[in-house]
Amino acid sequence: MLADQDKDPFEERLAAALHETGGGFDTDRTALAARGAVRGRRKRFVRRAAVAGGTASVVLACVGGALVLRPGGTATEAVPSSPTASAEPKPSATAPPATAKQMIGTLKKLLPKGDFSEERGRGTEPTDDLKVAAPYAGLVFDDGHGAAAVEVSVGRVQPGSTEARQATQCPDRVYTPYDACRTSRLADSSVVTVLQRYEYPDRRVDTKLWTAELVTPTGQHISVSEWNAAAEKDKPVTRTDPPLDPAQLTRLAAAKEWRAVANALPAPLPEPELPGSDLHARTDLLALLPKGLMVTDKSGDDGDFAYAVVDDGKGRSLVQVNVQTDMLDAAGDLFGSGSETLPDGTRVAVKQGPGDRGHQVMWTVDTLRADGRRVVISAFNAGTQNEPATREAPALTIAQMRTMALDARWWSGS
Same domain, 382 and 279: yes
Residue 16 has a pLDDT of 39
The alpha carbons of the chain give a radius of gyration, in whole angstroms, of 22
Q: How far apart are CA 63 and CA 68, in angstroms?
A: 6
161-195 per-position pLDDT tens digit: 888 988 999 988 888 889 999 999 999 999 999 99
* Residues in contact with 327: Cβ distance below 8 Å, sequence separation at least 6, in sequence order: 35, 39, 334, 368, 372, 373, 374
Same domain, 233 and 115: yes
What per-residue string of b and e applies to 308-322 under the rule 16 or more CB within 10 Å gives b?
A: bbbbeeebbbbbbbb
Same domain, 183 and 126: yes
Among 237, 263, 289, give the residue marking a domain's end. Answer: 263
**Are the CB atoms for 65 and 333 separated by under 8 Å?**
yes
Q: Is residue 72 part of a domain?
A: no
* Measured CA distances, 301 to 151, 166, 283, 304 (Å): 31, 12, 9, 10
What per-residue string of b and e applies to 260-272 under the rule 16 or more CB within 10 Å gives b?
A: bbbbbbeebbebb
Per the structure, the count of domains in the chain is 2
Same domain, 256 and 281: no
Smallest Cα–Cα separation from 354: which of 86, 126, 26?
A: 26
Q: Is residue 41 part of a domain?
A: no
Q: How far apart are CA 212 and CA 190, in angstroms?
A: 12
Same domain, 193 and 134: yes
Q: How far apart are CA 312 and CA 92, in angstroms?
A: 57
Same domain, 253 and 280: no
Residue 382 has a pLDDT of 94
Among 263, 283, 303, give the residue marking a domain's end. Answer: 263
Among 263, 288, 323, give the residue marking a domain's end. Answer: 263
Residues paired with residue 68 on neighbouring β-strands, in sequence order: 61
* Residues in contact with 27: Cβ distance below 8 Å, sequence separation at least 6, in sequence order: none
Same domain, 297 and 242: no
Helix boundaries (H) for 41-85: 47-52
Mean pLDDT of 201-210: 89
Same domain, 302 and 195: no
Structural domain including 154 reads 80-263
Same domain, 375 and 309: yes
Residue 1 has a pLDDT of 39
CATH classification at residue 403: 3.40.1000
Q: How far apart are CA 296 and CA 75, in angstroms?
A: 29
Q: Is residue 64 part of a domain?
A: no
Same domain, 115 and 182: yes
Query: How much of the chain, in percent, has pLDDT values that exceed 70?
Result: 73
Range scoring the smallest mean pLDDT among 100-104, 220-224, 278-282: 278-282
Q: Is residue 248 part of a domain?
A: yes
